[in-house]
Amino acid sequence: MEVNCETDFVARRPEFQQLAKNIAMQIAASPTVNYVSVNEIPTEVIEREKSIEAGKDDLANKPEQIREKIVEGRIEKILKTQSLLDQSFIRDNNQTVDEVIKQIISQLGENIKVARFIRFQLGEE
């Protein structure tokens, strides 16, 4: 995982280190997380999820406009489960990971960004 800030001074602060540790635990505890934000999800993944949702049996008898709205709502929820920043924070379900990062930014007065991460699953090659 790579979490960036602007100065070494902030990187050494216990608040920043605790945030980085909490984000790492969040990633480890969230098997559906594959991307930092929804904006990073490739179009192919979004289109594949749309086709899966549109083909579900419970939508077969719905009018086209209603079906499209239902599919869009479902896709939005699916994409949020794949985005780290949109996840409910494991230590406080009332906040997202993005909101927790913004709190630390306001506390430390410096920009903080999760740049990237790689998640390994036991047994994967």
pLDDT band at 125 (very low <50, low <70, confident <90, very high): low
User: Could you tell me the CATH superfamily of domain 1-36+86-125?
Assistant: Elongation factor Ts, dimerisation domain (3.30.479.20)
pLDDT tens for 18-63 read 999 999 999 999 888 999 999 999 999 999 988 888 777 777 777 7
pLDDT tens for 65-96 read 887 888 888 889 989 999 999 999 989 889 99
CA 39 – CA 109 distance, rounded (Å): 25
Please state the domain extents for the chain. 1-36+86-125, 42-82
* Protein fold of 42-82: GTP Cyclohydrolase I; Chain A, domain 1 (1.10.286)
pLDDT at residue 104 is higher than 80: yes
Phi/psi at 84 (5° precision)? -60, -50
Q: pTM here?
A: 0.81
Closest CA to 98 of 112, 78, 110: 112
Q: Do domains 1-36+86-125 and 42-82 have the same CATH topology?
A: no
Tokens of 77: 């929820």
Taking CA atoms, 61 is separated from 54, 55, 58, 65, 78, in Å, by: 12, 11, 7, 12, 23
